[in-house]
Amino acid sequence: MPDVSPVVCLVDDDASVRKSVTRLLESSGFSVNAFSEPEAFLGHLTAHSVPVAVLDIWMNKITGMVLLAHLCARSPKTRVIFITGREDHAAETTVMQAGAFAFFLKPFDNKRFLAAVRDAFDQTSSKKREGRNSNRRERRPLWSTEDGDLLHVQVDRSPTNGSSK
């Protein structure tokens, strides 16, 4: 089975952020497909697998939260990392409850960000290898988009007794 190359999709309407995050990711061995428009990313999603996506939460036409709703409906295995320049605890709580993998406030710590990207890829790879996972997460509807797609919440189904294997 061929390995999937570590391609990160980056969606941010700020050119300077796209440039700097792309450089950071590429300097760490990732390939990057960068999009300035959320609609272009959604078009890409129709024809390509997207294991990890980095999304700006506040963009002009479509917010990162709406993109997350589309990803939950169309590509539920995609791990989503949010980046934002605005401190917004309500938005952070909402996207994390809806299944986002990580959330970073710009400017973010590069090492922590890269560790989150690596962890997201590790999780997508291990899910493919394991099939069923004892720490399975179930998606539950949260709200729907204008197109009627449902955004889902991830509910942790792992044991709560603190034990781990």
- Reported confidence tier of residue 8, pLDDT bands at 50, 70, 90: very high
- Which residue has tokens 């509910």? 155
Average pLDDT value for residue range 125-154: 45
Say whether pLDDT at 37 is over 80: yes
Say whether pLDDT at 96 is over 70: yes
Is the sign of the CA dihedral 76, 96, 34, 37 positive or negative? positive
- Reported confidence tier of residue 52, pLDDT bands at 50, 70, 90: very high
Residue with the bigger pLDDT between 130 and 140: it is 130
User: What is this structure's pTM?
Assistant: 0.74
- Reported confidence tier of residue 123, pLDDT bands at 50, 70, 90: confident
For residues 109 and 100, what is the distance between their CA atoms, to the nearest angstrom?
A: 18
Q: Which residues contact 23 (CB under 8 A, 6 or more apart)?
A: none
Residue with the bigger pLDDT between 108 and 137: it is 108
Task: Kindly list the structural domains of the chain, giving each domain's residue range(s) and its CATH number in brackets, ordered by start.
Answer: 7-156 (3.40.50.2300)
- Reported confidence tier of residue 99, pLDDT bands at 50, 70, 90: confident
